[in-house]
Amino acid sequence: MKLSELSRRNWLKTVGLGLGATAVNLAGIPTQRAQADFVYRENMTTGTLHDGTEAVPCRLEDDKVIRPAKEIPQISETDVLVVGGGPAGCVAAIAAARAGVRVTLVERYGHFGGLATGGLVVHILGHWTMENGEKIQVCQGIGEEMMKRLESLPNGIINRENKRNPTLDAEVYKYLLVEMITEANIDVFLHSWALDAIMDDEPDPETGHPVIRGVVFQTKTGPQAILAKQVIDTTGDGDIFATSGAAYTQRMYTIGLPCRLGNLDQVTPPEGTERPRFLGDPTPVPGVNWVNMGGPDADGCDVRTLSQLELQHRKRIWKQFLDIHATPGYEKVFLMETAPQIGVRITRVIEGVETLTLDDAKAGKKYDDCIGIGGAWGGDHIGWQIPYRALLPKNVENLITAGRSISGEPRMSDVIRVIPNCWVSGHGAGCAAAVAVQNHCIARNVPIETVQRLLLEQKAWLG
């Protein structure tokens, strides 16, 4: 039932029930745990944080803000730490967990899916290529499994037939990711923002590069550290490799804010009405369209820019919506949702051992350490191999990146950044990290044949 269809009686019923339940909770029988929590909060020692550590605030010294040294509690230790629960991160975590290692997945928001769900980029663009006049789906493995499972869920995904570019539903995908991650027994930390990389005090004896040992997260509990043997940076913005000192390029790219419109199936435009421009494209939910947005090229790592753009885009969306609303026949259309997460497309891109270029991709360059095949948006070029070395930073050990931040020239990054390619590179990163843990080697020296075998076992497509 839609909000708009809610009758007064039903509304009263719903609200009444909700109020009733709340009243019971407040007045009656709090659980044992809840009681303990109340006690705990009342008895907080002055000058301590929620995790019991001492509060050490920053200080102003000579007009400079200084953060004093402080020991950070280790909340967890794991084999593979995946930072960022977007399409790449989720697939990486699931792939590593299925390979049989302990995996921890950390996400800054309260849900998985990153831009695909929170950013309302619900369009699966570029998971197939045209070769010899035939459409070939290059995104297989866990990405394909997700699409298949979405298909089995109500209103999960549309346009899967004939290898078109499908559209998924953000809420269904959020749920599916929870289901798959729970199935894989992955340790999950939500609402945790990556703060800093933790580097080993000794560099790797073989390569002489610094070795990453974990990540510190800013949480409501306070800063928390998670130690790991392998770290996968799927933050998209490359927060981990940037803080770990790896070489990277900072790019500016168009930043927008998608939204969803509802009630589009109740539109009755009179003859001759011009269709409003920003109606977007259909989603699996009947009557709901998602409206994408371009935007000015801007630095997606600059907080002031992000804030300004967020304000500007929200104003614009409202104006667009009013325009649609004012069009005869479109009165019932309502603005259903704006994306909780701003649509940053490309920011930091790692300087990998191998750098992908568009010319190589078009020429079909082959790599012996191929961990997946990327697709084309409109069948405009052939499938391109993603080499494992493009995921590895030049000068940090045990850190693998995946998703939009893998090494590529600007024009290539534009191809890399779409969801299926993130699935594919995430899959490769997850398998490689798991193999590195199992073989007790650094990520750079991982036996690539084993990784490729593992990927094939997990039904990935390597060409």
Show the binding pattern over residues 204-243: x = contacts other proteins (CB under 8 A), - = does not.
----------------------------------------
User: Is residue 364 part of the contact set for other proteins (CB under 8 A)?
Assistant: no
- The number of helix segments (H) and strand segments (E) in the chain equals 11, 24
Q: Among 96, 170, 194, 267, which residue interacts with other proteins (rule: CB under 8 A)? A: 267
Q: Among 254, 327, 395, 438, which residue interacts with other proteins (rule: CB under 8 A)? A: 254
Please say which residue, 80 or 115, places its beta carbon nearer to other proteins: 115
Q: Among 54, 265, 368, 449, which residue interacts with other proteins (rule: CB under 8 A)? A: 265
Q: Within 10 A of 256 (CB to CB), how many other CB atoms are there? A: 22
Region for residue 272 given its phi and psi (left: phi exceeds 0; alpha: psi -120 to 50; beta: otherwise): left
CB of 25 to other proteins, least distance (A): 41
User: Is residue 275 part of the contact set for other proteins (CB under 8 A)?
Assistant: yes
Q: d(Cα 166, Cα 161) in Å, to the nearest integer? A: 8
User: Is residue 316 part of the contact set for other proteins (CB under 8 A)?
Assistant: yes
Please say which residue, 289 or 355, places its beta carbon nearer to other proteins: 289
CB of 159 to other proteins, least distance (A): 5
Q: d(Cα 169, Cα 144) in Å, to the nearest integer? A: 16
Q: How many residues bind other proteins (CB under 8 A)?
A: 48
User: Is residue 73 part of the contact set for other proteins (CB under 8 A)?
Assistant: no
CB of 341 to other proteins, least distance (A): 16
Short-list 447, 246, 458, 435, CA closest to 372: 458
User: Is residue 408 part of the contact set for other proteins (CB under 8 A)?
Assistant: no
DSSP designation for 407: S
Q: Among 231, 264, 346, 424, which residue interacts with other proteins (rule: CB under 8 A)? A: 264
User: Is residue 342 part of the contact set for other proteins (CB under 8 A)?
Assistant: no
The overall longest dimension of the chain from CA atoms, in Å, is: 75
CB of 357 to other proteins, least distance (A): 12
Q: Among 117, 167, 249, 401, which residue interacts with other proteins (rule: CB under 8 A)? A: 167
Q: d(Cα 348, Cα 168) in Å, to the nearest integer? A: 27
Q: Among 13, 148, 164, 453, which residue interacts with other proteins (rule: CB under 8 A)? A: 164
User: Is residue 202 part of the contact set for other proteins (CB under 8 A)?
Assistant: no
Please say which residue, 73 or 378, places its beta carbon nearer to other proteins: 378
User: Is residue 292 part of the contact set for other proteins (CB under 8 A)?
Assistant: yes
User: Is residue 341 part of the contact set for other proteins (CB under 8 A)?
Assistant: no
Q: Identify any residues that bridge with 349 across adjacent strands, giving them in sequence order.
A: 249
CB of 289 to other proteins, least distance (A): 7
- Return the exposure string of 350-389: e unless at least 16 CB atoms fall within 10 Å of the residue's CB, then b: bebbbbbbbebbeeeeebebbbbbbbbeebebbbbbbbbb
Q: Please give the sequence-ordered ranges of beta strands (E in DSSP) within 84-211, or none if there are none.
A: 103-106, 128-131, 134-137, 157-158, 167-168, 187-189, 193-199
The helix or strand, by DSSP H or E, that contains position 76, with its residue range, turns out to be strand 74-83
Please say which residue, 85 or 295, places its beta carbon nearer to other proteins: 295
Strand 399-401 vs strand 222-233: parallel, antiparallel, or unpaired? parallel
User: Is residue 297 part of the contact set for other proteins (CB under 8 A)?
Assistant: yes
User: Is residue 293 part of the contact set for other proteins (CB under 8 A)?
Assistant: yes
Q: Within 10 A of 159 (CB to CB), how many other CB atoms are there? A: 16
Q: Among 296, 364, 447, 463, which residue interacts with other proteins (rule: CB under 8 A)? A: 296
Determine contact, residues 407/233, Cβ cutoff 8 Å: no
Please say which residue, 165 or 192, places its beta carbon nearer to other proteins: 165
Tokens 């869920």 belong to residue: 153
Angle formed at CA 69 by CA 68 and CA 74, multiple of 5 degrees: 130
User: Is residue 32 part of the contact set for other proteins (CB under 8 A)?
Assistant: no
User: Is residue 295 part of the contact set for other proteins (CB under 8 A)?
Assistant: yes
Cβ neighbourhood burial of 35 (10 Å; 0-12, 13-18, 19+): exposed
Q: Among 281, 368, 449, 457, which residue interacts with other proteins (rule: CB under 8 A)? A: 281
Interface residues toward other proteins, by CB under 8 A: 121, 123, 125, 128, 135, 158-159, 162-165, 167, 254, 256, 264-265, 267, 269-273, 275, 277-278, 280-282, 286-287, 289, 291-297, 316, 320, 358, 377-380, 411, 414-415
